[in-house]
Amino acid sequence: MRLQGKVAIITGGGRGIGEAIALAFAREGARLAIASRTQTELEQVAAQIRKMGGQVQVIRTDVSRQDDVLQLVEATLTTYGQIDILVNAAGVYGPIGPMWDIDVDEWIQAIQINLLGTFMCCHTVLPHMIESRQGKIVNFSGGGATSPLPRFTAYGVSKTASVRLTETLAEEVKEFNIQVNVVAPGAVDTRLQDQVLTAGERAGDLLARIRRLRETGEGGVPRELPAQLVVFLASDDSDGLTGKLIAAPYDDWQSWDADRIAEVMSAPWFTLRRMDPYTLRPLMDKLK
């Protein structure tokens, strides 16, 4: 029960990875406020949590709307009186195709959900965490953050920006005992991938990968794996770890103890950096 006594807001909690996180948090003893744009999906997740004996509040929220985000935070505080954890799992691909041949409004909407939604949730929750001088925030990265993802510019740009937002915010709130990290979940077969299949050839090289994932499971990651990483980042087990981009399927985070966390924090591991002699020199000096 690593989250016993904690209160967590989970956006995107109605399905996919967000749903898996909500169920994992409930098993660990957290009291939850789950949010998404679809009320029926939230109610279905809430029913599972209540059947487990967990406490959960359903709050329909569009994270791209500031009024909705304010209502989400206020309702959570009214119900529970505290907010200890924020998980920003709401996200969309946005328009798929060559950048010059996509809908501008759809591109902007994806940025509003993936980046501005994350920003507004952090912006609204942080005063309460700062007042209590503790908190955990987990954001989500994705394909396109560490290397280009052609035909998915809105997704790649917003997810890259979410990483740098995480890194910068982590430095700003470090003095208040608040840790902020970002997760790359890997190729999880959620309903998000339906958009890739529907887009067909407009999705470029990613189409073949998603077809293999859907048909054979090749390259796939179970949604429970990133959910368990988020539990780790939200719990006391990750104390001292902040400002890092951690890949659920590739990084050996399951074995990280206090010594390993201190080692990770002592060097520019798991961050976005330009790879050249200037940025690599401090790292090489540490390794000598």
Write down the pLDDT at residue 277: 81
Given 80, 155, 250, 278, the catalytic residue = 155
Q: How far is CA 277 from the centre of its chain?
A: 31
- H-type helices in 39-176, by residue range? 39-51, 66-80, 104-111, 117-132, 153-173
> What's the pLDDT band for 282 if we cut at 50, 70, 90?
low
What DSSP character marks residue 11? E
Write down the pLDDT at residue 274: 82
Q: What is the pLDDT of residues 151-179, one digit of tens each?
A: 999 999 999 999 999 999 999 999 999 99
**CA 207 to CA 200: how far, in whole Å?**
7
Residue 59: phi, psi to the nearest 5?
Answer: -135, 105
The residues near 107 (Cβ < 8 Å, ≥ 6 apart) are 94, 95, 153, 154
**Model pTM score:** 0.95
> What's the pLDDT band for 275 if we cut at 50, 70, 90?
confident
> What's the pLDDT band for 286 if we cut at 50, 70, 90?
low
**CA 121 to CA 107: how far, in whole Å?**
20
Residue 158, classed as helix, strand or coil, is helix
Q: Is the pLDDT reported for residue 252 higher than 80?
A: yes
> What's the pLDDT band for 287 if we cut at 50, 70, 90?
low
**CA 179 to CA 166: how far, in whole Å?**
10
Helix then strand then coil, in percent of the chain rounded to 5, is: 55, 10, 35
**CA 106 to CA 96: how far, in whole Å?**
10
Closest CA to 232 of 178, 181, 184, 272: 181
Indicate the fold that domain 7-287 takes in CATH.
Rossmann fold (3.40.50)
Q: What is the pLDDT of residues 191-243, one digit of tens each?
A: 999 999 999 999 999 999 999 999 999 999 999 999 999 999 999 999 999 99
Least confident of 106-120, 176-190, 196-210, 272-286: 272-286
**CA 4 to CA 1: how far, in whole Å?**
5
Quick check: is 250 catalytic?
Answer: no
Q: What is the pLDDT of residues 11-42, one digit of tens each?
A: 999 999 999 999 999 999 999 999 999 999 99
Q: What is the pLDDT of residues 59-92, one digit of tens each?
A: 999 999 999 999 999 999 999 999 999 999 999 9
Long-range contacts of range 200-203, CB-CB < 8 Å, 24 or more positions apart?
A: 202/96, 202/97, 202/98, 202/151, 203/96, 203/97, 203/151, 203/152
Q: Is the pLDDT reported for residue 263 higher than 80?
A: yes
> What's the pLDDT band for 255 if we cut at 50, 70, 90?
very high
